[in-house]
Structure 1
Amino acid sequence: MEPPSGMATPAPASTTGWKREPDAPSLAESHRTISIPAGAGFWRKLLAFSGPGYLVAVGYMDPGNWATDLAGGSAFGYSLLSVILLSNLMAILLQSLCAKLGIVTGRDLAQACRDHYSRPVAVGLWLLCEVAICACDLAEVIGTAIALNLLFGIPLVWGVCITALDVLLVLWLANRGFRWLEALVVGLVFLIGVCFGLEILFSKPAVRDILGGFLPTTELVTNPAMLYIAIGILGATVMPHNLYLHSSIVQTRKYAQDARGKREAIKFATIDSTAALMFALFINGSILVVAAATFYTRGRHDVAEIQDAFQLLSPMLGVGVAGIVFAVALLASGQNSTLTGTLAGQIVMEGFLNVRLRPWLRRLITRAIAIIPAAIVAGVYGESGTAKLLVFSQVVLSLQLPFAVVPLVMFTSDRKKMGEFANPPWIKVLAWVVATLIIGLNLKLLLDVTGITGR
């Protein structure tokens, strides 16, 4: 049987370290559709490879981040900037491993799990990943609904329902080509950046306090309330579904399938994702800084809800447009996250189960699962309930992280699977330290939440 178009002829599974070979390329409709100009210079090649990193970075600045960063900034000032920085550094490392896995093996992380583990284990990992995607989608639904309510006065329940229409936008972009999707995402990312650049100017934070916030404190693990928000920030920053997404979309580039071509692709993909994630660090840090400078310094330690921040920003800063700019950035954030969530859901289902549904059907199923609890909470509990649901959704994401991180580190450290591209010892040690830290923080959170520690 001939391999699918664009795929190299697969070696026997026994010689590659995998139990089976993939049946089809990841995200087949976009696989290797973007050409890399031969003989081009560094900057032209970087431009050709740029894009996937920003699709990944979108997940690091979604409405879930807003809830956790606002709660952290208003309650604890600048202290949790150290968590945002640490989370971002973890993300840079993990996303670089994702890019390497996809480029070297021709598999996304979901396919790699399916081709390595037994079917029951793969199905279990798929179910856990679907829970994480639904939690992420829940944050996007609530964030977009809140933005529509703040800007246009649309009731939260109706705003939640309106978010289902984004399926049409995704379908239209998918038909135009993958570069169109990337262009829209990058445009919205920079719109969010401009909005928060303005908010920083409006709030006038103290530079000394910002720099001090990047130094970690022991209170992070001794204060359960701070730890809960910190884990939420971790879950909102290092997104489980982004690990699957990135390992797939780097394969949209048509790079040479020899060792030299793969090495070059890894280099440019890593630069792309690192630059995009540093921009995400600016956005996340800005949200927390604005909350700390505006609310914490004025004694308003209880501002954990996006709606309250919107109402208070303009009067407390004395700038009439501050609240509007905040809401515009929130709407852009919610819509951006929706686009990448669509791709992640498709990649995960196809990769783990080898089941291919039409993208619009897959999106409707995922969005319906998120809309139902969001609509119920919005209708019964109102604004207060949606804020708590946002933070809780991010904790759910963080609890799922180990089940994506551990296989990723295992696969990229395996010389039989990766050949000469296997992680060198120092990367392997660093990656396992990150995985252990994530698992340890999650266990500590579970013990605190369930009261096992005897608090």
Structure 2
Amino acid sequence: MSPESTESENDRAWRRTAGELSLPEVHRSIVVPGTGSFWKKLAAFTGPGFLVAVGYMDPGNWATDLAGGAKFGYTLLSVILISNLMAILLQHLCVKLGIATGRDLAQACRDHYSKPVVWFLWIICEVAIAACDLAEVVGSAIGLQLLFGIPIVWGCVITSLDVLAVLYLQHKGFRLIEAVVVALIGTIGVCFATELFFAGPSLTGVLLGFVPSAEILKNREMLYVSIGILGATVMPHNLYLHSSIVQTRKFEQTPKGKREAIKFATIDSSTALMFALFINGGILVLAAAAFHWSGHHEVAEIQQAYQLLSPTLGVGIASTLFAVALLASGQNSTLTGTLAGQIVMEGFLNFRLRPWLRRLITRAIAIVPAVLVIGIYGEGATTDLLVASQVVLSMQLGFAVWPLMRFTGERAKMGEFINPTWIKILGWLTVSIIIILNLKLLYDTFMASV
């Protein structure tokens, strides 16, 4: 059977056939060598995973990780680890969906579900993107304030100018975007490696922190922060993003070529997400080593952490490194947030906006609530905004992972690339954990307010 006939059979499994290409301006724009060494091919596929990993170390993670480390020590490291393993599995499924079907997750939803369902999924996904963008805006603004003394409200406004940088990079090619992202991730990594060297955390305590504790489920405050970490780690819009950008590689459109593409793209994303684990774990370990064991249990604000780091660690440059890493994190997340917003709107609605207009709309949706809340409640409300934004992301996760598991588990849609039984079990277990934890948080929050 020819690849063309197999493709047409797979298309018939959807209610509608595939429409426009995902991110058409860069679709299959990066050539993958047909021959060559393992490392040469891996280099060609390396990049999309790091763009996805950016969302797993954005400023929203900082607030939840700082709060978790300062208040509970190393205990929530197990939550970061479990969340990261969930992310690796889910991003692998995104790789399979994009490569095997030629659809991103948003397009797949549009091609399968009815219009009312598609519109509902699009709206809640836009809410999640706005929540993520809110974290990027506030995080970048805090970084500007810490480094240059710029008021946070004005910092929020200044971040709207990053649309110019995004447009420039998109115009110059997808590889340049990937290179800038990797450079910024490297900057964050160096900053935190240096901070951890100064902090000198307990290796035994860190290792024990990776062991799950039943106390997490019993303590409502600990559970709230844990679900915030889950929302900050497994980002719903990253599922849409990854299933699209893996299609920037020009690999052979044969079963063998697709299998090879899935293998290398999975190695790329898994490696990048392990680096994200180091960053997230590093933030929590730094907070635990610097604040929890010194009695500063209530340190939850990024500004507090900045002010206390140097005197607590006895190293003058510690606070500056912290602020530089924060600013790099916020700007990095901006690049991937722009792409995700474009993919979601085009995929769900088959509606295209000019990239600069799409970016300005998304940023305005994030800036307005940030400026209003900070203007009314003061700059002290920024951390609450960051943590709440991550819980919003976590609430939306179920609506993204459910269709992802469903589509990749149907032979009629995936053909020979259908999920094997063990992945189905792990995947649905992941979905169940996400949904159950979110329902428990909603119940506890509601009962506390009654």
Q: State the TM bucket, normalised to the shorter chain.
A: over 0.9
Give the counterpart letter for 1:377 in structure 2: V
Where 1:401 maps in the other structure, the secondary structure is helix
**Does 1:440 pair with 2:436?**
yes
**Does 1:200 pair with 2:200?**
no
Where 2:33 maps in the other structure, the secondary structure is coil
Corresponding residue of 1:372: 368
Give the counterpart letter for 1:438 in structure 2: I
Corresponding residue of 1:390: 386
Counterparts in 2 of 1:301-312, with a 5 A limit? 301-312=297-308
Alpha carbons of structure 1 residues 85 and 14: separation in structure 2 relative to 1, 3 Å: closer
d(CA) in 1 for partners of 2:4 and 2:48?
Answer: 22
Where 1:61 maps in the other structure, the secondary structure is coil
d(CA) in 2 for partners of 1:8 and 1:150?
Answer: 57
Give the counterpart letter for 1:304 in structure 2: A
Corresponding residue of 1:269: 265
Check whether the contact 2:130–2:362 (CA below 8 A) recurs between aligned residues.
yes
d(CA) in 2 for partners of 1:324 and 1:9?
Answer: 59
Check whether the contact 1:401–1:438 (CA below 8 A) recurs between aligned residues.
yes
d(CA) in 2 for partners of 1:298 and 1:24?
Answer: 56
d(CA) in 2 for partners of 1:190 and 1:16?
Answer: 44
Give the counterpart letter for 2:242 in structure 1: H
Where 1:39 maps in the other structure, the secondary structure is coil
d(CA) in 1 for partners of 2:396 and 2:6?
Answer: 32
Give the counterpart letter for 1:131 in structure 2: V
Match of 1:173 among 137, 162, 169: 169
Shift of 1:15: 5.6
Give the counterpart letter for 2:226 in structure 1: A
**Does 1:228 pair with 2:213?**
no
Counterparts in 2 of 1:23-422, with a 5 A limit? 23-422=19-418
Give the counterpart letter for 2:63 in structure 1: A
Check whether the contact 2:10–2:413 (CA below 8 A) recurs between aligned residues.
no
CA displacement, residues 102-152 of structure 1 (integer Å, 9 cap, x when unaligned): 000000000000000001101100001000000000000000000000000
d(CA) in 1 for partners of 2:343 and 2:11?
Answer: 26
Shift of 1:452: 7.0
Check whether the contact 1:447–1:453 (CA below 8 A) recurs between aligned residues.
no
d(CA) in 1 for partners of 2:321 and 2:428?
Answer: 40
Shift of 1:10: 9.2
d(CA) in 2 for partners of 1:26 and 1:363?
Answer: 18
Q: Which runs of 5+ in 2 are unaligned?
A: none
CA displacement, residues 391-439 of structure 1 (integer Å, 9 cap, x when unaligned): 0000000000000000000000001100010000110011000000000
Where 2:239 maps in the other structure, the secondary structure is helix
Give the counterpart letter for 2:407 in structure 1: F
d(CA) in 1 for partners of 2:5 and 2:381?
Answer: 53
d(CA) in 1 for partners of 2:424 and 2:448?
Answer: 33
Q: Which moved more, 1:403-412 or 1:7-16?
A: 7-16
Give the counterpart letter for 1:67 in structure 2: A
Where 2:293 maps in the other structure, the secondary structure is helix
d(CA) in 2 for partners of 1:90 and 1:272?
Answer: 16
d(CA) in 1 for partners of 2:303 and 2:179?
Answer: 30
Shift of 1:21: 1.4
Corresponding residue of 1:4: none
d(CA) in 2 for partners of 1:64 and 1:385?
Answer: 14
Check whether the contact 2:11–2:18 (CA below 8 A) recurs between aligned residues.
no
CA displacement, residues 65-105 of structure 1 (integer Å, 9 cap, x when unaligned): 00000000001000000000000000000000000000000
d(CA) in 2 for partners of 1:262 and 1:121?
Answer: 30
- TM-score, normalization: structure 2? 0.98
d(CA) in 2 for partners of 1:147 and 1:431?
Answer: 37
Check whether the contact 1:10–1:21 (CA below 8 A) recurs between aligned residues.
no
d(CA) in 2 for partners of 1:281 and 1:15?
Answer: 37
Check whether the contact 1:220–1:226 (CA below 8 A) recurs between aligned residues.
yes
d(CA) in 2 for partners of 1:132 and 1:411?
Answer: 21
Shift of 1:22: 2.0
Match of 1:22 among 18, 21, 24: 18
Where 1:28 maps in the other structure, the secondary structure is coil
d(CA) in 1 for partners of 2:395 and 2:13?
Answer: 29
d(CA) in 1 for partners of 2:12 and 2:393?
Answer: 32
- The number of aligned residues is 448
Shift of 1:208: 0.4
Check whether the contact 2:10–2:415 (CA below 8 A) recurs between aligned residues.
no
d(CA) in 1 for partners of 2:428 and 2:232?
Answer: 20
Corresponding residue of 1:3: none
Shift of 1:13: 6.9
Runs (4+) of structure 1 exceeding 6 A deviation are: 7-10
RMSD: 1.4
- TM-score, normalization: structure 1? 0.97
Where 1:190 maps in the other structure, the secondary structure is helix
Corresponding residue of 2:420: 424
Give the counterpart letter for 2:190 in structure 1: V
